[in-house]
Amino acid sequence: MNRIVLAATAGAVGVAAAFVLPAAARAQSVEAFYAGRTISVLVSSDPGGGYDAQARLMARHIGRFIPGHPSLIVQNMPGGGGIVAANYLYNVAPQDGTALGVVQRGVVTAQLTHQPGVRFEVARFTWVGNLASENSVMVAWHTAAVKTTADLFVKPLIVGGTGATSDSEMGPRLYNAILGTRFKIISGYKGASDLILAMEKGELEGSEWSWSNIKTRGVQYLEQHKIVLLLQSALTRAPDLSGVPTEMEFAKTEDARKVIELFSAQKTIARPVMAGPGLPPERRAALRKAFADMAADPAFRADAAKAKLEVDPMPGDAVERVVDLIVSTPKDVADRFGAAVNPKR
């Protein structure tokens, strides 16, 4: 609106408008600002996957805890393993608290590893919270030649990828470079649901897959023995995956372990919720508080259980600390990690 006023008004009146209106906007209370407004929640994946489902869960509830009670609408913006949505949130979306993002966790290390197409500084995003931590599992379809974890080191496994910073691509690239596995990656799939369909159709032999999604929304594949669990991505074995080794168990050197630890660190903020870098401080505080209040709300928890979604929310300041630790990774570790997971290096 300010730009319109300046374009239509000459002289001192136009100059005054440029200064007075932003000041008035800053003085507006959080409740008054959000009343009657709509917040867009940008999801960096196609509908149907875990990120989409958790973003929609949040959108159904968080508005009750934001002053002014705005409505929320989810918009899918897949591409680049989250980079497309992150770029939009950083450079194009309104920086006033009416645009949030739920993006793939690989976005957190994308700048560190010099991924192509990155047009943001990850440390400058406003971190609102995190919906869940994550263990992911490398699975093979039951018809694949790879039947055991040991087979990964002697037989190729064709897997699909949804973008350079997605687990579906970062994991296999990292395992090939650091551990010596023999994954073959076919990129270009839009989301997790497409990877599952491609396995069913015989286009792919396996995929990196969220363990929480397998247990809840894909449990039939376990019950029908359609998938074989081969390798979990986590610092330690999950209690309900005690028979599946972690990638850390195959890291033979201290340098290799440091690279694996960096990859695993981003999984502690597996479903990050953020706003752009220009969010006013009072709205940042309000959104962080709303996220924390939502996380403790029985109705939110009940809805998550009904939707078969595992949630373990983390407050925004804790997410920010994890991001700061990742950003400050020593250069030698970051360089080796980047060389392993960046397809352009």
pLDDT tens digits for range 289-323: 999 999 999 999 999 999 988 899 999 999 999 99
Amino acid 229 reads: L
Does residue 1 surpass a pLDDT of 50? no
- pLDDT average, residue stretch 129-141: 93
- Say what the pLDDT of residue 345 is: 63
Using alpha carbons only, give the angle 26, 295, 120 rounded to the nearest 5 degrees: 50
How confident is the model over 214-251, as pLDDT tens digits? 988 789 999 999 999 999 998 778 889 999 999 999 99
Contact 221, 227 (CB under 8 A): yes
- pLDDT average, residue stretch 316-338: 93
**Sign of torsion, CA 336 344 195 49?**
positive
How much is the CA Rg of the chain, to the nearest whole Å? 22
Angle between helices 254-265 and 331-341 (to 10 degrees): 70
pLDDT: is 1 or 272 the higher one?
272
- Say what the pLDDT of residue 192 is: 82
Identify the structural domains of the chain with CATH numbers, from first to last.
39-133+267-341 (3.40.190.150), 139-265 (3.40.190.10)
Does residue 112 surpass a pLDDT of 60? yes
Does residue 5 surpass a pLDDT of 70? no
- Say what the pLDDT of residue 115 is: 87
Query: What backbone torsions phi and psi does residue 251 show, to the nearest 5 degrees?
Result: -80, 120
- Say what the pLDDT of residue 17 is: 37
Give percent above pLDDT 90 in the chain.
Answer: 70
Residue 15 makes CB contacts below 8 A (sequence gap 6+) with none
- pLDDT average, residue stretch 144-157: 97
How far, in Å, CA of 178 to CA of 161, rounded?
19
Does residue 277 surpass a pLDDT of 80? yes
- Say what the pLDDT of residue 39 is: 98
Q: Is 184 helix (H, G, I), strand (E, B) or coil?
A: strand
Given pLDDT bands bounded at 50, 70 and 90, which one contains residue 12? very low
- Say what the pLDDT of residue 310 is: 86
- Say what the pLDDT of residue 271 is: 92
Q: Is 158 helix (H, G, I), strand (E, B) or coil?
A: strand
| Tokens representing residue 30 in the block | 């959080």
- Say what the pLDDT of residue 237 is: 86
Find which of 103-107, 151-155, 333-337 is predicted with most confidence, using mean pLDDT: 151-155
Does residue 24 surpass a pLDDT of 60? no
**Sign of torsion, CA 151 153 154 156?**
positive
How confident is the model over 242-270, as pLDDT tens digits? 999 999 999 999 999 999 999 888 888 98
Given pLDDT bands bounded at 50, 70 and 90, which one contains residue 160? very high
How far, in Å, CA of 198 to CA of 80, rounded?
19
- Say what the pLDDT of residue 20 is: 40
* Pick from 70-74, 138-142, 188-192, 197-201: least confident: 188-192
Contact 209, 64 (CB under 8 A): no
Q: Is 75 helix (H, G, I), strand (E, B) or coil?
A: strand
pLDDT: is 198 or 4 the higher one?
198
How far, in Å, CA of 225 to CA of 210, rounded?
17
What residues pair up with 140 in beta bridges, in sequence order? Answer: 206, 228
- Say what the pLDDT of residue 27 is: 57
Does residue 11 surpass a pLDDT of 70? no
